[in-house]
Amino acid sequence: MTHLATRGTALGAAALCLLAGTAQAAPAGRLPKPDLAGVDSVLRTALRQGAPGAIARVDDDGVVRTAAVGVADRGTGRAISNADRFRIGSVTKVFSAVVLMQLADEGKLNLDASVDRYLPGLLPDSRITVRQVLGHRSGLYDYTNDMFAKSVSGFESVRSKVFTYRQLVDRSLRHARTNAPGAAYAYSNTNFVVAGMLIEKLTGHLVGTEYANRIIEPLKLRDTFYVHPGKNIPGRYARGYLTPDTAGTPLVDATQQTVSWAQSAGALISSTRDLDTFLSALLGGRLMSATRLGQMERMIPVNSTQAYGLGLRRRDLSCGVSVYGHTGAVQGYYTYAFATKDGRRSLTALANTSNNGAVLNTMLGTLESAFCGKPAKVGRGSAVVERHEDMAPEVARD
């Protein structure tokens, strides 16, 4: 089943003006009209490659376009919809970074101070700064490499577990660091576990409370929840299906889990609507000062088409447009959530599967269609552009 829709929408002024006196970013150059047929083609390709369902939403300066194919539930056959909630994985990192940047705006956090200043004795090197943690330049080993070296057995071993932040950091510290502090970019979920610890230490509140008070409630995000350590997704949702490492083995329903292995690095639940709203507000300058937003957007190159700032990715597309946001991989779900630098156009796309490199690469094509206005090259012979997921970043997935 395929569903495409276009409609107009108006954003409430109260949700768009969170900081008095903050000017909206100047509009970017005129973009091509989004190619919704191209987006739909990408989603249908993902289905042929093993995703039970896939959805996308483009918010384009007041005009909303949506596409949906396949099912949200393989058991009942219910069609997937952009009304469905899902686990957003590492897109959570952007939320965590926003909270810390707001705390910096409030004078409660110095980005260039040592993490040791706020969390004494946690890390083995006092040279590691908050800025390095947020930019994946701390050198802290990613504990998920060991945790999910085997996709299904690794997942089943943690599906119901509840970890403390310190237990996750300790798993990282069993390994040598990947580089000296500040020396190089190396993606690591450990960094954003530390970010969660910083949030809770500086505010005295759980991260879920800070997400709610600083982002979810002001922006009226009705589908965004941090339920850790609960296992269930509230309301209407798409079930998530983990692809086993052995070809031909049945998909594993991974919907119910604590996501305690990720927490502030990847445990949020949301929807395409809410993520588009969030990124538009962030990049439109409505969640922090212009100075702090500029710091988030100061990028370190990752490869020829990607760069990383502070909890924020940049992707450079074939038409010369750069978009900002994050990818998310959590068992059962792949998410792409990106927007133009001025926040005027945003896209969120989801496939309800994971551990499937073909689907992961294919879903990248939604960016080309949404922001460049042309079909993406997502045929069976497409070159692999992603070598890993946001979880277990050093474990290659075919």
Catalytic residues: 90
DSSP 8-state assignment for residue 99 = H
Q: Whole-angstrom Cα distance, residue 117 to residue 133? A: 14
Q: Whole-angstrom Cα distance, residue 264 to residue 176? A: 23
* 289: nearest Cα among 81, 142, 105: 105
Q: Whole-angstrom Cα distance, residue 380 to residue 208? A: 41
Question: What is the number of residues in the chain?
Answer: 398
What is 113-146 written as a DSSP string?
A: SBHHHHSTTSSS-TT-BHHHHHTT-S----THHH
Among the residues of 243-388, which ranges form H helices?
A: 272-283, 290-296, 357-363, 365-367
C-alpha pair distances (Å), 126 with each of 113, 115, 334: 9, 7, 35
